[in-house]
A = this chain, B = another copy of it.
Amino acid sequence: MQTSTINLAEKFGKFTEHWSPRVVAEMNDYQFKVVKFKGDFVWHDHKDTDEVFLVVKGSMGIELRDGMVHLSEGEMYVVPKGVEHKPFAESECHVLLIEPRGIVNTGDEGGELKAENDIWI
């Protein structure tokens, strides 16, 4: 039995790249990923799944086509499936993402911010 816990701050201390999610845990076919946001991401959606953003440190925003979400430390937001969104952060923000295994950060958009998937830390 694996009895080691996952310390989020420790995981965030292990990398510096922005917009590059690292998997820290799996629950059934879902993954928990730590990611550092800074600057502007790209507009994208995930056709088949909701996506959860939970802010562990700092603050961030999510642009939607018809609104804007602001998230501070200890706040979470569920982007519904199929909804276009563009995350951004003025200063570096530490985020826990929760979504099904196999989800690519840029959806179908690709581009230079597309991260390699399923990288564990």
A contact residues vs B (CB 8 Å cutoff): 1, 3, 5-9, 24-28, 30, 32, 49-52, 56, 64, 66-72, 74-78, 81, 83, 98-100
Contacts and interface: CB of A to CB of B under 8 A. Distances in A.
B50 A27 contact: yes
Given A76-B8, A77-B6, A1 B67 contact: yes
B1 A28 contact: no
B3 A69 contact: yes
A99 B32 CA distance: 13
A75 B1 contact: no
B30 A75 contact: no
Contacts of A78: 6, 25-27
